[in-house]
Amino acid sequence: MSVRMLYLNRLIMLISTGLIGLFSIVFVYQNLNGINGVLYYSLLAYGLMIITTPLGAFLMTKVGQKNAMILSMPFLFIHYLFLIKMPADPWFYVHLSIGAVVLFKAFYWIPFNVEFSNNGTKNGHSGSSVAALNSLSYLVAIVTPGLAGFILTYFDYTSLFSLALIISGFAMLPLLAMPDQKEKFTWTIPETYGQLFKKANRKMIFAYLADGAEGMVAVLIWPIFLFQLLKGNYLDLGILSTLIVLGSIVLQQFLGKLVDSKYRQRLLPIGAALYSLGWLMKMFVVNALQVFLVGVYHNIALVLLRTPFDAFMYETHADQGHYVDEYTVLHEIALAIGRVLMIAFLYFLLQIASLNLAFLAAAVVVLAFTALNPKDLKANYESQRH
């Protein structure tokens, strides 16, 4: 019941966030005077998440995973409302929007990941569980970018954000049907941040930092690059994004089963190398056809990388038993730090170089995923359980 409700919650949330995901960065880009405004918005948001992430764990300890996720939802609604108001006074409402979305992420993602680690990775099927979760994302992404592009072409951002807000309201219903479970977060705040610097955690933290850093190029730079390449055509941008996703769903399910097999350790470095190559290829795309071809390749490589990476993350967190929430918090903090570091780097890079050069930075960072060696990390986790 719990896992099914989590999947249903994520499906509804993905529809809501999928509608605005590609275009929210373009919206900020247009309202905050270009790429520097986007970087400022993201730097402030993820910087605050480094601080607020443990608060989500403390709330989860008090009220349980289910109730913490329910309490997070009003902050998402408020975030959408401030986005709607942003054109009236961009620099005022952007800070309110950031505050709301940071609290949503702090209160939602820790209990979600703890719940999924506890219930979605049993019986050695973590790869299939992660593949199913990721396939929901791909399934939604077939429809939402094109639909969002249509809405923006014939209506406006207010209509898009309003629709996303209404849909997100339905995501609370599966949460209400979930059983109420509690995990106790036992680390103090100094102990939590101290774990980032422990030698035993070094490879794990390094891989998570790289994960967060690479994601900033994918989330912040690639949409703006496409928007410029397609000369601001919302519908073309949405349809092209939809077409790129179509080739990934079947492969995702196949690789989920592969990751549950003996081939898991081989997939991660292969996926990292192929995905890194995809970023290098993106440096040279100049038209929609090339974007499509490289995008399909990059999505396939992403499946090879993310499925074993995420499966191992959830599985090793679940292996900690009582400490599953502590290591989930550590993961989220490391991701946020990696994002902040990449945003700061991008700010200085883009003062002197074009957007394309950011893809080179992503290609280099992706190779750090290979630091995540399952055998080494299993031993490190075991050494810290006592």
Q: What is the token pair recorded at 256? A: 């989920």
Q: Would you say residue 322 has pLDDT above 60? A: no
Give the span between the Cα atoms of 138 and 256, in whole angstroms: 14
Q: What is the token pair recorded at 204? A: 């794990």
**Comparison of pLDDT for 316 and 356, the residue scoring more:** 356
Cα dist from 349 to 158, 297, 352, 355, whole Å: 33, 26, 6, 9
- Please compute the mean of the pLDDT values over residues 229-235 and round it to a whole number: 93
Give the span between the Cα atoms of 109 and 95, in whole angstroms: 21
Q: Is pTM, for the whole model, over 0.85?
A: yes
- Phi and psi at residue 49, to the nearest 5°: -65, -25
* pLDDT number for residue 262: 55
For residue 250, what pLDDT band results from cuts at 50, 70 and 90? low
For residue 257, what pLDDT band results from cuts at 50, 70 and 90? low
Q: Would you say residue 287 has pLDDT above 70? A: yes
Give the span between the Cα atoms of 159 and 224, in whole angstroms: 21
Closest CA to 18 of 115, 147, 144: 144
* pLDDT number for residue 136: 74
- Please compute the mean of the pLDDT values over residues 91-110 and round it to a whole number: 95
- Please compute the mean of the pLDDT values over residues 220-241 and round it to a whole number: 93
- Please compute the mean of the pLDDT values over residues 298-326 and round it to a whole number: 69
Mean pLDDT score across all residues of the chain: 85
* pLDDT number for residue 254: 64
- Phi and psi at residue 233, to the nearest 5°: -85, 105
* pLDDT number for residue 280: 96
Percent of the chain whose pLDDT exceeds 90:
55
Q: What angle do CA 326, 205, 216 make, to 5 degrees?
A: 105
Indicate the range of 3-7, 170-174, 294-298 predicted with least confidence: 3-7
Q: What angle do CA 253, 14, 149 make, to 5 degrees?
A: 105
Cα dist from 153 to 54, 122, 164, 237, whole Å: 41, 45, 16, 11
Query: Of 198-202, 238-242, 310-314, where does the model show the most confidence?
Result: 238-242
- Please compute the mean of the pLDDT values over residues 51-78 and round it to a whole number: 93
Cα 209–chain centre separation: 13
How far is it between the farthest Cα atoms of the chain? 60
- Please compute the mean of the pLDDT values over residues 21-43 and round it to a whole number: 95
- Phi and psi at residue 180, to the nearest 5°: -90, 110
* pLDDT number for residue 261: 54
For residue 6, what pLDDT band results from cuts at 50, 70 and 90? confident
* pLDDT number for residue 276: 94
* pLDDT number for residue 312: 66
**Comparison of pLDDT for 367 and 383, the residue scoring more:** 367
- Please compute the mean of the pLDDT values over residues 208-227 and round it to a whole number: 94
- Please compute the mean of the pLDDT values over residues 97-102 and round it to a whole number: 97
For residue 48, what pLDDT band results from cuts at 50, 70 and 90? very high
- Please compute the mean of the pLDDT values over residues 198-212 and round it to a whole number: 87
- 26 touches 157 (CB < 8 A): no
Cα dist from 221 to 24, 148, 152, 257, 336, whole Å: 12, 19, 20, 32, 17
Question: What does the pLDDT look like over 175-204, one tens digit per residue?
Answer: 999 888 887 888 889 999 999 998 888 888
- Other residues' Cβ atoms within 10 Å of the Cβ of residue 38: 26
- 366 CB-contact burial (10 Å; exposed 0-12 / middle 13-18 / buried 19+): buried
For residue 128, what pLDDT band results from cuts at 50, 70 and 90? low
Closest CA to 372 of 318, 322, 320, 315: 315
Q: What is the token pair recorded at 31? A: 């309202």
Q: Would you say residue 386 has pLDDT above 50? A: no
- Contact residues for 59 (Cβ-Cβ < 8 A; gap 6+): 68, 71, 107
* pLDDT number for residue 248: 65
- 60 touches 190 (CB < 8 A): no
- Please compute the mean of the pLDDT values over residues 276-288 and round it to a whole number: 95
Q: Would you say residue 379 has pLDDT above 60? A: no
For residue 333, what pLDDT band results from cuts at 50, 70 and 90? very high
Indicate the range of 23-32, 162-171, 326-335 predicted with least confidence: 326-335
Question: What does the pLDDT look like over 7-20, one tens digit per residue?
Answer: 889 889 999 999 99
- Please compute the mean of the pLDDT values over residues 55-68 and round it to a whole number: 91
* pLDDT number for residue 323: 62
CATH superfamily of 2-175+189-384: MFS general substrate transporter like domains (1.20.1250.20)
* pLDDT number for residue 133: 67
The stretches of the chain forming alpha helices (DSSP H) are 2-31, 35-63, 65-85, 90-119, 126-154, 157-170, 172-176, 189-194, 202-216, 222-229, 234-246, 249-259, 264-282, 288-319, 324-352, 356-366, 374-384
- 283 CB-contact burial (10 Å; exposed 0-12 / middle 13-18 / buried 19+): middle
